[in-house]
């Protein structure tokens, strides 16, 4: 299977629990990406838009990332993702924080190794002199 046939999703860690990012609209769906780069851009692009608005928005975005610690994880198939993450029994939750909110599926503790191996978005890439 080539690299582009993978599906990429976003995991969150909050209060020692893991979550899978869902859409905000109803019915809630898993937010999936065709490439790891697109998944990372979802977060870095959002941060950059908030940063461009001003100091308060930028800090809010930083607090959001610190609070939810997103990481991108790839799966070779949707079937494997559903089985590995035990999504048939997953509970939909609303994660709310002063810096924003997400809808997500709560994941089993067994998904922690996948989360730890996931790729984190790099929010600040400019070098400071």
Which pLDDT tens digits describe the chain residue by residue (129 residues)?
Answer: 444 589 999 999 988 899 999 999 889 999 999 999 999 999 888 888 887 888 888 788 888 888 889 999 999 998 999 999 999 889 999 998 888 889 999 999 999 999 999 999 987 666 656
Give the chain's domain count: 1
DSSP code at position 25? S
Tokens linked to 74: 């790839």
| Domain membership flag for residue 34 | yes
Q: Is residue 72 part of a domain?
A: yes
pLDDT of residue 26: 87
Query: Do the domain assignments include residue 81?
Result: yes
Please check whether residue 98 lies inside any domain of the structure: yes
Q: Is 74 inside any structural domain?
A: yes
Q: Which residues is 73 bridged to in the sheet?
A: 9
Rounded to 10 degrees, the C-alpha dihedral 110/114/115/118 comes to 180
Q: Give the domain extent around 108.
A: 3-117
Residue 14, domain member (yes or no) = yes
What is the distance between the alpha carbons of residues 111 and 93, in angstroms, rounded to a whole number? 17
Q: What is the pLDDT of residue 2?
A: 47
């Amino acid at each position: 299977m080539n690299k582009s046939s993978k599906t990429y999703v976003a995991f969150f860690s909050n209060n020692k629990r893991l979550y899978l990012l869902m859409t905000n609209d109803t019915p809630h769906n898993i937010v999936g990406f065709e490439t790891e780069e697109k998944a990372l851009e979802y977060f870095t692009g959002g941060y950059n838009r908030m940063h461009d608005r001003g100091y308060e928005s930028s800090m809010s975005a930083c607090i959001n990332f610190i609070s939810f610690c997103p990481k991108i994880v790839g799966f070779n198939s949707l079937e494997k993702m559903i089985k590995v993450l035990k999504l048939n029994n997953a509970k939909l939750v609303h994660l709310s924080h002063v810096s924003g909110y997400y809808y997500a599926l709560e994941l089993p503790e067994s998904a922690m190794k996948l989360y730890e191996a996931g790729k984190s978005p790099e929010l600040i890439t400019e070098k400071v002199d």
